[in-house]
Amino acid sequence: MDPRLQLRGDPRRSPSIAAFLSFLWPGLGQLYLGRRVAALVFALPIVAIVLYLVVELLSSPTVFIARLFVPSVAVTVLVVAILAAIWRLLSMVDALLPRRGIPVPSRRRLPPVFLVLALVVVATHGTVAYGAWSFYDAGARIFVPPSRPPVGSRPRAKPAGEPRASGVVQPTDQPEATPEPPIDIAKDRINFVLTGLDASKHRGNHHLTDTLMVVSFDPRTNKAAMISFPRDIARFRLSNGDIYRDKINTFYSYVARNEEEYPEGPMAALQRELGHLLGIRIHHYAAINLDGFERMIDLVGGVDVVNDREIDDPEYGFDDGRIGFRLPAGRHHLDGETALAYVRSRKGRGDSDFTRASRQQEVLLALREKLTDPAMLPRLPQVLDAAARTVKTDFPAEQLPAMLQLAQQVSDERTARYVLAPPYSVHPPLEKTGGLWTLELDMKRIRKLSVEVFGEDSRYSRSGAQRP
């Protein structure tokens, strides 16, 4: 072949066919025209992008998707999608450009199929760019920076002898805690507090944390633990020595109303106090709004659960005014509304806050399975928007891929589940509580449980450990 044809192209080849081939893959049209150098120039950038994606997806699709929550990664994908679209269009246009010895259609004779193919390129790359933007936007709303003072700070101390919020007089405060070292997700246990905020417009904006759960992952054993705190736990000792008399599900609201006493904010205070009771450091929180939880379940197509015993709650109220919730024993596929009732109902015969806490753990595990299913990819933008409206966490987005790798190694069978119901707590006599039905933690059993679950990571495992 005449070397000059590598630049000018072969006049015997159709530019329209060349443009179509460049639509299929940039550079193919130039190769068809005999322009090998131009073919390499247009093809190589796309080859590099595709090879990178293939390697990442073959390694772990879930981890790759998790990286998109990192703002810099999401923006990079968005920009690359736009540039790749421009590059494909340039390759198609280049195949139609007039060259010496090659006739090219006039504007009136420009193949209509070229315009259609150009629209397809814009639409496909626009979809990818929109997906990347959805991750960027969701990440910015889900992963929030921690709003707490330096690690080791405690609630504002009150003068010795002054009555505290609990009404208990304490002579002195405990000393300041020393800052904790950063954790390595690949080597160190990581603990979360998971809260379900009941702040629905249908139920009043009272911000009760009726779901309180500590979730722990240990990379050394590939095991996890879920420990639920029943809402009726009361009269528990705080890290500064006070006794909090009210129920534990009101602690979040109490802290929010007493900013001077708790300058770190309600979520950080909740982390500290639950960690104090369990004898561990709780590193991060995740807060779930129960209204958004219902929509998330619907978007993933529902969840599968096994109901151990019939639920017949005549007092449960749905948002549309219906009263009563019933679910037979057995395997069920739950939509969002039913799943929300499943994790909220507690007044059926034989039910309690303890059985409800166990069901909450079950639904969270089922939701985790659905969210990691590749079939969710077409619904990602909607799921991401629902997640952004539902979940808030101070966990760093940059560490999410490593966290997901750890979570994937932990099966449901290797996840221990506990509810701090009796024997981990006791019902005090009603005459002692003024007729209020409450629970008080049996700290001797809690300390034993802490050592069993967390091992050497529990402060109770160390000799001379502090005792609440």
Rounded to whole angstroms, the Cα distance separating 347 from 166 reads 29
Q: Can you tell me which residue has the tokens 């969840």?
A: 303
Which has the closest alpha carbon to 284: 145, 188, 458, 450?
Answer: 145
Segment holding 3, helix H or strand E: none
Kindly list the distances between the CA atom of residue 127 and the CA atoms of 124, 306, 386, in Å, as whole numbers in the listed order: 5, 38, 19
**Which pLDDT does position 138 carry in this prediction?**
92
Phi, psi of 284 (to 5 degrees): -145, 165
- CA distance linking residue 415 with residue 281, whole number of Å: 19
For residue 22, give Cα distances in angstroms to 88, 254, 394, 459. 7, 64, 46, 64
- The closest of 2, 1, 50, 10 to 30, measured between CA atoms, is 10
E-strand stretches of 46-198: 190-198
Q: What pLDDT does residue 420 have?
A: 95
Query: How far apart are the C-alpha atoms of 232 and 422, rounded to whole Å?
Result: 12
**Helices vs. strands in the chain: H and E counts, helices first:** 15, 14
Statement: 190-461 belongs to CATH 3.40.630.190: yes
CB-based burial, 95-112: b 16+ in 10 Å, e otherwise: bbeebeebeeeeeeeebe
Contacts of 460 (CB under 8 A, 6+ apart): 279, 447, 450, 451
Round to whole Å and give the CA distance between 287 and 39.
52
Phi and psi at 247, nearest 5°, equal -70, 150
Beta strand 330-334 with 425-426 is unpaired
Enumerate residue ranges in the chain where pLDDT < 50: 1-8, 101, 104, 106-108, 149-153, 155-178, 201-205, 463-468
Query: How far from each other are the two terminal CA atoms of the chain, in whole angstroms?
Result: 88
Q: Is 3 left (phi over 0), alpha (psi -120 to 50) or beta?
A: alpha
Q: Domains of the chain: which residue ranges?
A: 5-142, 190-461
Strand partners, 244: 236
Within 8 A by CB and 6+ apart from 276, the residues are 238, 239, 468
Cα separation, 324 vs 315, whole angstroms: 5
User: Using CA atoms, how far apart are residues 381 and 81, in angstroms rounded to an integer?
Assistant: 16
Classify residue 82 as left (phi > 0), alpha (psi -120 to 50) or beta.
alpha
Q: Give pLDDT tens digits for 16-61.
A: 889 999 999 999 999 999 899 999 999 999 999 999 999 988 887 8
Structure tokens at 135: 């991750």
Question: Cα(203)–Cα(208) distance, rounded to whole angstroms?
Answer: 11
What is the rounded distance in angstroms from the CA atom of residue 288 to the CA atom of residue 100? 66
Predicted TM-score (pTM) of the model is: 0.77
DSSP 8-state assignment for residue 281:
-
Burial of 169-197, coded b for 16+ CB within 10 Å and e otherwise, reads ebeebeeeeeeeeeeebeebbbbbbbbbb
CA 358 to chain centre: 20
Q: Bridge partners of 143?
A: 393
Planar angle of CA 153, 154, 155, nearest 5 degrees: 135
Q: How far is CA 185 from CA 90, 180, 188, 355, 402, in A?
A: 45, 15, 5, 32, 7
**Residues paired with 328 in a beta bridge:** none
